[in-house]
Structure 1
Amino acid sequence: MAQETRSYKVFQFPANMIPRVDGDADDWKMVPDSYTVGMDQLVNDKNLSAKPDPKNMDVKVKVGWVKGLNRLYFLYEAYDNYWDFTHPDLHNDIFEVVVDGDRSGGPLIAEQHPNKDLSWSEAYFSFHGVHAQNYHIFTPAEGKDWALAWGSQPWIKDLPYANAAYHYNFRPGKAGKLTLEFWITPFDYAGPEGPARAVETKLEENKKIGLCWAVLDYDDVNDVKKQDFWNLSREHKMYGNASFLLPFTLMPLEPSFRRPLAAQWSFQMVDPKRRLVAFTDKSEGKITAWQWDFGDGTTSTEQHPMHTYKEAGKYVVVLWVEGPAGKARMAKVWDVAVP
């Protein structure tokens, strides 16, 4: 098999345009077509030479994120000539998503645990879905939960870690189009004990995550092993091994959504005993000058200054920035408090 070279993009939604999860795709009209992953990117694991037939199944997927939120948003639009969703078990048309937020790779299901001396129970509850997660999303889900979070942590498919909504008007066994919107939270660690010790994947601009999906399509068959399995990865076992996922880059805002100039900053307490604080400029746009007011009568023109406060207290810190687009200011009231 040829070495995998494909990579994909995750669209950044502006913070004031976060998509509503309501089964309506209107919020996604702003997403350029270059972010769409179509059926032409998938391979049929049961017949590698098969070409997608849009009269049988046609799928389009877009993925998004919002800076500051550790969520991946999905729009799944699919036409199928036969929707199968009457059973209460795993027999269902499925959109299977696997995510490895920190690209740690390797097996993620009990059956593939490297230590074969472990019992199924030991492997499942200590390993399955812990460092990368697999979601079997039922398309659609009627009379059952929207997804199987395949692992020992079913809590990851519920609020506040996930949410989903559908729109469709077909009945079982009929043809039609389905729109599915959902978001999930990727985890670097998600254990069976619940969210108390969980570690969400920190999503940041230009970061690459491991991601892949498959479409499981029944066409009036009763055997779970006889469904078509259309896979974005060229490796069938991507469902249980994160090394077979593909890189998806968390993109910056598209140029049309960027502000020409906006002041923004963050800070970190470096040494509380010395009252030493590090300030980081996070402004947007082309900037030629910075002016900091630390709230104690001192200032700086550095982009990323360090400052030592002489007295304990709560301070109003202000950053002014200047560039070809003009001037901008960001003040934060009492965020900076030193002991």
Structure 2
Amino acid sequence: MLFQCWSQDTRTFKVFQFPSNKIPTIDGKADDWKMVPENYTVGMDQLWEDSGKHSKANPKNLDVSVKVAWVKGLNRLYFLYEAYDDYWDFSLPGLHNDTFEVIVDADQSGGPFIDRFHPNPALTNTMDAYFSYHGVHAQNYHIFTPAEGKDWTLVWGSQPWIKELPYANAATHYNFKAGESGKLTLEFWITPFDYAGNDPSRAVESILEENKNIGLCWAIIDYDDVNNEKNNGFWNLSKEHTMYGNASYSLPFKLMPLEKQFQKEINAKWTFNVIDKNKRTVAFINHSEGEIESYKWNFGDGNFSSEKNPVHEYKEAGKYIVVLDISGPKGKSRLSKIWDVAVK
């Protein structure tokens, strides 16, 4: 089977944005994902079986589709994993288990991130590297499908706390027994981290922002015989087998804006920063959406502005009701914030 080298892989994938009022419930069902267009689906046609055991995908043996999503304002990645397998291997308590292995490098820092790949040979495969380096700047989730009688995932590193609430959640639906065929639906979300060591108090979440690319990749490890330690396939989204421990081999996934049918034609939105407490100076930042022709700010103290991003100095201490009215060819919109803006 012919593979291109990683540097020639120019594919970019999309991460669907759920509207804030349609966040999926983690129940192992695909109902909440019906709104996601098919062009967000990553199927078997995007994967390489890089152990040479299969020349091409056979849906009678294994058929997998994955959708990834996010919600603006939440540093979470949502996944829907749907898979048919002709032999589900999950009866053993250890690592031998059909697996969906996900790596995430949300700030695209790149580079190796497991102990055996440590750039310092003196630290390779050491516990020092495991605790200070393994899974710290990028994370590997070894997700068991299904996880019967075991944790839903192995977090490959010294930070097992990231697989629990409030950092992750998962649910699976299936009706087959070990060794049988059937369909599995796995639904989960994870929190990506720029820094995630053994101590959660020092962790730094990755900030997810619209139109930003994140590094993401996965592989499906397919076992077909509980008596055989070797798997029957390693289906990889990356063209480099060692993507599981090197974030440079992840692929760019773009955090997409809302699809057009979920967007308001005009929508007033704004935030503020107090930039000088002594002078009671406040900067107002417009985040409004749509085609906008005019802005009208009411600062709540008898003063107004038609600027897009005004800076206002309050003469007196107090709590203020600040209103932004916008208008354009598609209509009008208003956003009022009551007593959020307070100066002393």
- The reply to whether residue 326 of structure 1 matches residue 315 of structure 2 is no
Amino acid at match of 1:295: G
Amino acid at match of 2:291: K
TM-aligned CA deviation for residue 220 of structure 1: 0.8
Q: Could you say which residue in structure 2 is the equivalent of 1:131? A: 137
Aligned counterparts, 1:19-168, within 5 A? 19-47=24-52, 50-118=55-123, 120-168=126-174
TM-score, normalised by the number of residues in structure 1: 0.97
Q: What is the distance in 2 between the residues matched to 1:82 and 1:133?
A: 28
Contact 1:214 1:230 in 2 (8 A): yes
Q: For 1:70-111, what per-residue CA distance to the aligned partner results, in whole angstroms no more than 9, with x for missing partners?
A: 000000000000000001110000000000010000011111
Q: For 1:240-290, what per-residue CA distance to the aligned partner results, in whole angstroms no more than 9, with x for missing partners?
A: 000000000000000011011211101112222222211111112211110
Q: Could you say which residue in structure 2 is the equivalent of 1:208? A: 213
Q: For 1:12-59, what per-residue CA distance to the aligned partner results, in whole angstroms no more than 9, with x for missing partners?
A: 000000011101101100000000000010001111871000000000
Contact 2:281 2:311 in 1 (8 A): yes
- The reply to whether residue 178 of structure 1 matches residue 178 of structure 2 is no
Q: For 1:89-145, what per-residue CA distance to the aligned partner results, in whole angstroms no more than 9, with x for missing partners?
A: 100000000000100000111111111222611100001111110000000011111
Contact 1:84 1:92 in 2 (8 A): yes
RMSD: 1.2
TM-score, normalised by the number of residues in structure 2: 0.96
Contact 1:221 1:227 in 2 (8 A): no
Q: Could you say which residue in structure 2 is the equivalent of 1:290? A: 295
Contact 1:211 1:247 in 2 (8 A): yes
Q: What is the distance in 1 between the residues matched to 2:50 and 2:12?
A: 20
Q: What is the distance in 1 between the residues matched to 2:229 and 2:268?
A: 55
Corresponding residue to 1:306 among 311, 336, 340: 311
Q: What is the distance in 2 between the residues matched to 1:232 and 1:256?
A: 30
Corresponding residue to 1:226 among 231, 245, 253: 231
SS at match of 1:155: helix
Q: Could you say which residue in structure 1 is the equivalent of 2:196? A: 190
Q: What is the distance in 1 between the residues matched to 2:186 and 2:54?
A: 28
Contact 2:53 2:232 in 1 (8 A): no
TM-aligned CA deviation for residue 224 of structure 1: 3.8
Q: What is the distance in 1 between the residues matched to 2:165 and 2:80?
A: 18
Q: What is the distance in 1 between the residues matched to 2:298 and 2:22?
A: 32
Q: What is the distance in 1 between the residues matched to 2:54 and 2:88?
A: 24
Q: For 1:197-245, what per-residue CA distance to the aligned partner results, in whole angstroms no more than 9, with x for missing partners?
A: 2111111100100000000000114344434110000000000000000
Amino acid at match of 2:303: T
Aligned length: 338
Q: Could you say which residue in structure 1 is the equivalent of 2:259? A: 254
Unaligned runs of 5+ in 2: none
Q: What is the distance in 2 between the residues matched to 1:51 and 1:100?
A: 28
Amino acid at match of 1:149: V
Percent of pairs with identical residues:
67
Q: What is the distance in 2 between the residues matched to 1:224 and 1:122?
A: 29
Q: Could you say which residue in structure 2 is the equivalent of 1:12? A: 17
Q: 1:48 to 1:287 in 2, by over 3 A?
A: farther
SS at match of 1:15: coil
Amino acid at match of 1:123: A
SS at match of 2:130: helix
Q: 1:224 to 1:131 in 2, by over 3 A?
A: farther
Amino acid at match of 2:271: S
Amino acid at match of 2:152: W
